[in-house]
Amino acid sequence: MYSVVRVYKMKSAGDVDKVVGAARSGFLPIVTKAPGFMAYTMAATLDGTLVTIGMFADRAGAEESTRLAADWVRDNVASFVEGPPKISEGEVRIQERRAEDATYGVLRRVKLQPGKVNEALEMMRTKLLPMLSSLPGFSRIAIFESGPDELLSLAAWRDRASAEEASRRAMAFMQENGGDIMAGPPEMIDADIKLREVNEAALQPN
């Protein structure tokens, strides 16, 4: 599975709902037909940032979705968007999915010490993920390599309170266990999930 995350800055926070509505009726029917489509999520922050998350069977599908998104944004909502999006993509290394009732999401970008990616992934897989997935309100999480010595985690929760408690526990865990792995505090974006479409057949384990 391959994930692509695009972060758009809106010119005005008041335009978020307009873009979400346009994407629901305009872009969603396009991206769901991209090769290897598995899931698409759109979330919005209070300050007017839109985050889109695409899950695809492989890199080709993810890159095609970015091309489709660029064309669609240019032709339909460019007047609402401030510049090109910040794009991160990579192969999903860890994932867990329990439910689809999430309303709140947290994106966490973690910079690591050189050569520590595999060690960090093992710690997350064996210790952090079991702790997070046992918390009330857990919906799903995916973690992928978003660059050299960098991991990006995408977690979804039933509500904001669940997400905030999970973030508190995750931060405490990383401070206690990841001191020799992390190169600094994580960059975080938390947002209300506005749009979600899933290809259930493609997401089922083989």
CATH code for residues 2-90+193-197: 3.30.70.100
At residue 166, φ and ψ (nearest 5 deg) are: -65, -40
Residue 174: what pLDDT?
A: 86
Distances in whole angstroms, Cα of residue 36 to Cα of each of 51, 57, 61, 87: 21, 5, 6, 19
Cα separation of 171 and 184, whole Å? 12
Residue 192: what pLDDT?
A: 95
- What percentage of the chain has pLDDT greater than the value 90? 81
- 92-190 has the same fold as 2-90+193-197: yes
- DSSP assignment string, 150-176: EEEEEEEESSHHHHHHHHHHHHHHHHH
Q: In this model, does residue 111 exceed pLDDT 60? A: yes
Q: In this model, does residue 147 exceed pLDDT 90? A: no
What integer is the mean pLDDT of 155-183?
90
- What are the strands, taking DSSP E only, across 45-120? 49-56, 86-97, 104-111
Q: In this model, does residue 205 exceed pLDDT 70? A: no
Averaged confidence pLDDT in the chain: 92
pLDDT interval class at 102 (50, 70, 90): very high
CATH code for residues 92-190: 3.30.70.100
**Is the CB of residue 109 less than 8 Å from the CB of residue 186?**
yes
Q: In this model, does residue 206 exceed pLDDT 60? A: no
Residue 100: what pLDDT?
A: 82
What integer is the mean pLDDT of 48-54?
94
Residue 117: what pLDDT?
A: 93
Of the candidates 106, 86, 83, 81, the residue with the CA atom closest to the CA atom of residue 19: 81
Among positive and negative, which fits the CA dihedral 162, 166, 169, 171? negative
What integer is the mean pLDDT of 46-58?
93
Residue 128: what pLDDT?
A: 93
* Run of H or E including 195: strand 187-198
**In terms of residues, how long is the chain?**
206
Parse the chain into domains and list their residue ranges: 2-90+193-197, 92-190
pLDDT digits (tens, 9 = 90+) for 12-24: 988 999 999 999 9
Q: In this model, does residue 120 exceed pLDDT 80? A: yes
pLDDT digits (tens, 9 = 90+) for 58-69: 999 999 999 999
pLDDT digits (tens, 9 = 90+) for 173-194: 888 887 789 888 889 999 999 9
